[in-house]
A and B are shown apart, each in its own frame.
Chain A
Amino acid sequence: METIYQSLVAVNPVTLIAQICNLFIQLFIFKKFFWDKILAILDQRRQAADQEISDAKAAHAEADAMKATYEQNMKQAQEKADSILANAQKTATLRSEEIIGQAQAAAAQIKSKASADIALEKKKAINDAKNEISGLAMAIAGKVVERELNPADQAGMIDRFIDELGDNV
């Protein structure tokens, strides 16, 4: 069979239409088997990267929150310790004042009791002294007067004497 050539610039509608169809077939294959797949992979990778970044940010925020909580706890503990210390000081002061007050009261009581005791003892001593002196005086008087007095006169006289004496003492 003889070889036929087209002319160098030939218009061939069949070729034209076939080439348009070829372009669309090629486009379909290119898009379906290459472009869409590559885009999907690139998107997935971008999403993975975004996910990593957001995860890192979340972890960072979490760490920040933990740090804030920790600092707050520390502050609260410090405040609590301070308040406990202040309370203790206050209580101690109160207690010491109370103790001092009690001690003072006790001391005052002891002092007043002592004063009373002293007064009583004094009185007792004076009474003893009176009795002693009266006895002594009676003996002296008996010797001096050399007469028997009846006890009643004697006692009245002695008491009078002592009273006079006591007033002078």
Chain B
Amino acid sequence: MMDLSINGAKVLATIENVPLFGTVQITQTLACSWLVLLIISALCIWLGSGLKVTGISRKQAVAEMAATSLLNFVRGNMGTNFDHYIPLVGTIFVTSVVSNLISLLGIWSPTADLMTELAWALVVFVLITYHKIKASGIGGYLKGFLDPIFVMAPINVMSECFTPISMACRHFGNILSGTVISALIYAALAVANNALFGFLGSSLIAAVILAMVGAGVLFYGRKAKKKFFFVLGIILAVLGVLAVLTNLGATYPWLMVGIPAIPSLYFDWFGGCIQAFIFCTLTTLFIKQAAGE
């Protein structure tokens, strides 16, 4: 009854016999990443052009506010010694937000592919390791794995490796859950739509009666100033009108209009922004911790 399949990225092209890699699949993730890259680059160039010291434009005010927020965010988490990492943190944040939100336009979100987050997490992991070695020397770094006793070494190595994996999976998992839940909602709405309009659409008379009853309840609710009846009347009347339209041959999954936007507000907008924020916060905190400051 419910037809649901959730897939990974679409493979756009397959190239055989590439040296070193063998079969190479160019996926939707890459194409959409390049799109995101173009969007952000255009945004950066637009925001970074025509800057003035005094008498600034509204655009520049927004750009400066964004830059100052980023500066304060990184300095708040890491202090002033890591100012050279601000562009990296900003880049990851912006790329993550745009990648997450681009799915609202019906474009495949590059962050719905684990490889995207893993790429960022690996870069952060390299920085973490660099700072650990810088802070305590290569000997001290290796010795740290034997802490507190040497039998702990395998666990320490694993925990070290799980830092980037957990960062990547946390972000990916949240985006994936959003994708899965919206797919589930769409599928469920399709089923509900079929059930509702299949029933209502079977009889034109029933549909007309429903619409009229709805209108009656609506007017009663309005006249008696009872909100419950007013809203109920609107719902019944709209359902009745849609059922009449279905009966007249205009079939459309009406329930999919508007309703998915409500969970999307949380899963796509809020979740997308908060995951970018969490990823950047972890990046800053891990690097600071690694540097031992």
Contact = CB atoms under 8 A, between A and B. Distances in A.
- Asked if A and B bind, the verdict is yes
A6 B40 contact: no
B51 A16 contact: no
B44 A44 contact: no
Contact of A19 (B7, B24, B68, B116): B116
Contacts of A12: 25, 27, 113, 115
B11 A26 contact: no
A18 B40 CA distance: 17
B33 A22 contact: yes
Contact of A23 (B11, B53, B63, B91): B91
Interface stretch (A31-39, A57-65, A88-96, A153-161): A31-39
Nearest to A14: B24
Given A23-B95, A25-B37, A11 B6 contact: no
Contacts of A44: 53
Contacts of B54: 45, 48
B48 interface: yes
A15 B33 CA distance: 10
Contacts of A15: 9, 27, 29-30, 113, 115-116
A45 to B, nearest CB: 5
Interface string A1-17: 00111111111111111
B8 A26 contact: no
Interface of B: 6-11, 14, 21, 24-27, 29-30, 33-34, 37, 40-41, 44-45, 47-49, 51-54, 60, 63-64, 67-68, 86-88, 90-92, 94-95, 110, 113-116, 118-120, 122-123, 172, 176
Contacts of A116: none
A1 to B, nearest CB: 10
Nearest to B29: A15
Given A4-B25, A8-B8, A19-B120, 9 more contacts: A11-B115, A14-B26, A23-B95, A23-B123, A30-B40, A38-B64, A38-B67, A41-B52, A41-B64
A85 interface: no
Which has the most chain B C-beta neighbours within 10 Å: A12, A31, A34?
A34
A4 B26 CA distance: 11
Nearest to A19: B119
9 contacts: A5-B9, A12-B113, A16-B118, A19-B119, A25-B37, A29-B41, A35-B86, A40-B51, A42-B64
Interface string A64-84: 000000000000000000000
Interface of A: 3-20, 22-23, 25-27, 29-31, 33-35, 37-42, 44-45, 48
Contact of A6 (B8, B45, B87, B116): B8
Nearest to A42: B64
Nearest to A18: B30
A48 B54 CA distance: 10
Q: A-B pairs with the 6 shortest C-beta distances?
A: A19-B119, A6-B8, A5-B7, A34-B44, A15-B115, A31-B87
B51 A20 contact: no
Among A5, A12, A17, residue most surrounded by chain B Cβ atoms (within 10 Å) = A12
Contacts of B94: 30
A26 B14 CA distance: 26
Contacts of A17: 119
Nearest to A47: B53
A30 B29 contact: no
A44 B123 CA distance: 33
A13 B21 CA distance: 8
A22 B30 CA distance: 9
A30 B44 contact: yes
A39 B44 contact: no
Nearest to A46: B53
A3 to B, nearest CB: 6
A22 B37 contact: yes
- Among A3, A8, A44, residue most surrounded by chain B Cβ atoms (within 10 Å): A8
Contacts of A29: 37, 40-41, 44-45
B58 to A, nearest CB: 15
Contacts of B122: 16, 20
B91 A8 contact: no
B92 A23 contact: yes
Given A13-B21, A16-B118, A26 B48 contact: no
